[in-house]
Structure 1
Amino acid sequence: MMTTFLLTLHGFIVIGFTLRILLRENLSPQARLAWFIILAVLPYIGSAIYFLFGEVDIGNHANARHAEVFAQIRAKGSHLMGVQDDTERLIEPLYKPAFRYAASINGFHVVGSNRAELMADAAATNARLIADIDAAQSHVHVLYYIWLGDRTGTDIAQALIRAAARGVTCRAMADGLGSRALIKSPLWQQMKDAGVQMAVALPLDNLIRTMLKSRVDLRNHRKITVIDSKITYCGSRNSADPEFRVKAKYAPWVDIMLRFEGAVVAQNELLFLSDWMQATGENIDGFTLTATPVADGFPAQVMGDGPTERRGATPQLFSSLIACAQDTLTLSTPYFVPDATVLEALCSAAHRGVAVKLIFPKVNDSWIVAAASRSYYSKLLSAGCEIHEFKGGLLHAKTLTLDGKVTMIGSSNLDLRSFDLNYENNILLQDLNVTLAVRERQQDYIVRSDPITLDLVSAWPKSKRIWYNVIATIGPVL
């Protein structure tokens, strides 16, 4: 009797969730197959996992609020978002398709009159950022996925406290999961008490409600700092020391940051405000929106993506950029679990003669991602791509350079979390000097890496290759 009941229950679970998966829109065949395998092998655990993590849905209220926020931004801030004509005027013809595509995601077009400086290292970044906050006269806006109470995190908090004390409007925001320890700490309360306006992105105050209505792992992964609408920082660094004490055995975290001035700062500020308004319920009327162009600057634009934007936008942007490459393409990312669109674009670029160089960390803080990543090595190497595994810590820098002319930098990884689940921010630019600086940094990563050859991969034990491919089979649902 019990056996019959369990078999019947098994059938209902598998059939019910299978129908649900088949009815879903915007789900790739690979993802459907991965879920079918999980449900068939582990029907009870698999159904629970699917219920909690199977669908990218942040909730109807959040989707409606996002649409309302961006309607306000377009109504009041459209003069800062750029126009299509500037893309046609300022961007070289070969790269226009990628810049046009980036603009289609959330309406930020190319704006001219920008400049940027590549920060030398973590210490230089921290010193410059603190100095900029200490010099602020109007306002400071910060948003970090991970904000720790270590030296870096405390330095930034204390700089905000000093700024607020002299009458500067400070707004500080952190992700509810990535910064959960700080949000509950005395330092967070000290900032509040000092007059810093605080907000939590995607809070986890009611975990059960979040699990029932959305997903716990839908996170705000952005790293945005804006000062007086004149300066913004963009790159991979969270508000944390390179020693990254929560995962110290993988340290140092090796990040990259650009300090921008110019019209693109206003776009990054609008992206910050979209998150602030979403979290606080405020409307845009309470903010002064200005831009400060710089003379003889380069063209750039902001790209923000997330679960409330169009599905597939980030991998399609990466694929568009890869397709534009004529001579060289160098890419660094800590987490490489691409979808078929990006994987085939990389292989296609190498096949047509582009020098494709990929830089990943040798030791990854996610063993699942590390295994899935290596399952793609043989295909990439066979196509002619170079692969380098960085051995000087966890390479956390997310960079893409094309032909010595175009750079994209920001928070997006080449994995399905960045593609589907996380709110991300990036800046796409065309400039010889900035791209040269970033390429030199990428070359430094390569020098500090082990080259991975096809012969080396072919010599891996069969057990290792099987393991990598097993993990990659469920890659579409990681």
Structure 2
Amino acid sequence: MSYLTRRRRDRCEPLLWPGDEPFRLFTEGDELYTAMLAAIDRAEREVALESYIFADDEVGRQFAEALAERARAGVRVSVHLDAAGSLFWASRGLDRLLRQSGIRLRWFHRWHWTRPLRYNQRNHRKLLVVDRRQAYLGGFNIHRENSRRYYGERRWRDTHVAMTGALARQAHAAFRALWQGRPYHPDPASERPSAVVLPNKSADCPHRLHCVFAAMFGSARQRIDLTTPYFVPDAWTQQALADAAARGVAVRLLVPHQSDIAPVRWIARRIYTRLQRQGIQVFGYRSRLLHAKTLAVDGDWASVGTANLDYRSLFLNHELNLCARSPTLAAALERQFETDLADAEAFDIAARPHRPIGDRLLTPLAWAARRWL
């Protein structure tokens, strides 16, 4: 009997959304933002929010006003934003609105000349926890670029997941640990193999997600569907995927057809060609900017969160993922993967498109610096 089933039978706080599903998946920003704003509006005791980007635009202002209203009503509201991620998106006016409303606002690792190296480590997490009962986690930032209403058909393609019960409490514990600047200590009583919210940094492991992903790849027997906008993996991760393909696992990787970050674009083909020669299928998503970070293994294991499969997410930044043994969630991710493939095409390792000489000259430098991309 799974942990989710046991908790429900014991008549504890329900983990299931309407429809008897343990998770709710979002792939459209307008639907996600509506659900998050409604959750904030219903908050009675506490709202905790962190985001890499929080823009002063139509979407950001809706969130700012909703958070401010709850703070004025006596709800404890804590907002943790990344100083670098929101640097060109937020504003002093937005900062002032949040603070004057009684919101506890904190900017993660603002630049200071006395501690320049810490600026390289970012809080890349996107999380909302309401009353420690509901949590929303994934790749969506708070900005108009994810909204069909405000950005149109070219909106970013992303994925988020909503959770309740014990998982929401785990998400809140992860929020509090980073807010307080202390190591995250997993609670052995609440952490179960069936589903867990995982920071990539914890007291017992400084790169936890890296180990979990490798374990998922190593356990695969049938198929791996992996979506990531930035794919610059370490050698161990590449080898784990190659080993899976060698075992006969159908490994499919969905990435942007052309990355929006030039150094990643310069070295991407080098990595993709190597993987394809080892039996891994690599598809380039064309229609929109791909920003989702999801994984489905054997229709059984699933992961949704903020971590890309690159050095920065796995070893440097603060990230947060839901990792779950859930056929329902895995099936939903596999269906979305197939939908995304309709807007993608397989990379052709035989084709060698002409690249500007500048790109060819800078590729070795980008490869040498791949741990910082």
- TM-score band, normalised by shorter chain: 0.7 to 0.9
Cα deviation for residue 128 of structure 1 reads: 0.7
C-alpha separation in 1, matches of 2:201 and 2:162? 23
The corresponding residue for 1:162 is: 69
Kindly indicate whether the alpha-carbon contact (under 8 Å) linking 2:56 and 2:91 is maintained by their aligned counterparts in 1. Answer: no
- SS of 1:146's partner is coil
What CA RMSD, in Å, does the superposition of the two structures yield over aligned residues?
3.0
Q: Deviations over 1:443-474 (max 9, x none)?
A: 11111112113323xx3459777764563244
C-alpha separation in 1, matches of 2:30 and 2:91? 27
How many positions carry a matched residue from both structures? 348
The corresponding residue for 1:392 is: 287
Q: 2:303 aligns with which of 379, 404, 408?
A: 408
C-alpha separation in 1, matches of 2:193 and 2:212? 21
C-alpha separation in 1, matches of 2:195 and 2:213? 16
- SS of 1:208's partner is coil
Kindly indicate whether the alpha-carbon contact (under 8 Å) linking 2:266 and 2:360 is maintained by their aligned counterparts in 1. Answer: no
Answering whether residue 96 of structure 2 is matched by residue 201 of structure 1, we say no
Answering whether residue 263 of structure 2 is matched by residue 360 of structure 1, we say no
Q: Deviations over 1:316-344 (max 9, x none)?
A: 32211111111010101111111100111
Q: Structure 1 length normalisation: TM-score?
A: 0.67
In structure 2, the CA distance between the partners of 1:182 and 1:461, relative to structure 1 (3 Å rule), is closer
Cα deviation for residue 210 of structure 1 reads: 1.9
Q: Deviations over 1:126-175 (max 9, x none)?
A: 11110111111111100111111112211111110111222221111111
Q: Deviations over 1:201-237 (max 9, x none)?
A: 2222xx21121xx332111111110011110011111
Q: How does 1:26-175 map to 2 (within 5 A)?
A: 113=15, 115-175=22-82
Structure 2 unaligned spans of 5+: 5-13, 17-21
Answering whether residue 333 of structure 2 is matched by residue 438 of structure 1, we say yes
Q: Structure 2 length normalisation: TM-score?
A: 0.85
- SS of 1:180's partner is coil
Kindly indicate whether the alpha-carbon contact (under 8 Å) linking 2:200 and 2:206 is maintained by their aligned counterparts in 1. Answer: no
Answering whether residue 341 of structure 2 is matched by residue 453 of structure 1, we say no
Percent identity, please. 27
In structure 2, the CA distance between the partners of 1:271 and 1:432, relative to structure 1 (3 Å rule), is same
Q: 2:222 aligns with which of 318, 323, 327?
A: 327
Q: How does 1:368-379 map to 2 (within 5 A)?
A: 368-379=263-274
Kindly indicate whether the alpha-carbon contact (under 8 Å) linking 1:335 and 1:370 is maintained by their aligned counterparts in 2. Answer: no
Whichever of the two has the greater Rg, that structure is: 1
C-alpha separation in 1, matches of 2:59 and 2:319? 22
C-alpha separation in 1, matches of 2:290 and 2:266? 16
In structure 2, the CA distance between the partners of 1:177 and 1:308, relative to structure 1 (3 Å rule), is farther
Cα deviation for residue 388 of structure 1 reads: 0.7
Answering whether residue 323 of structure 2 is matched by residue 428 of structure 1, we say yes
C-alpha separation in 1, matches of 2:79 and 2:118? 24
C-alpha separation in 2, matches of 1:171 and 1:306? 21
Q: Deviations over 1:161-197 (max 9, x none)?
A: 1112222211111112112356652122112111112
In structure 2, the CA distance between the partners of 1:113 and 1:383, relative to structure 1 (3 Å rule), is same
Q: 2:127 aligns with which of 224, 239, 245?
A: 224
The corresponding residue for 1:270 is: 173
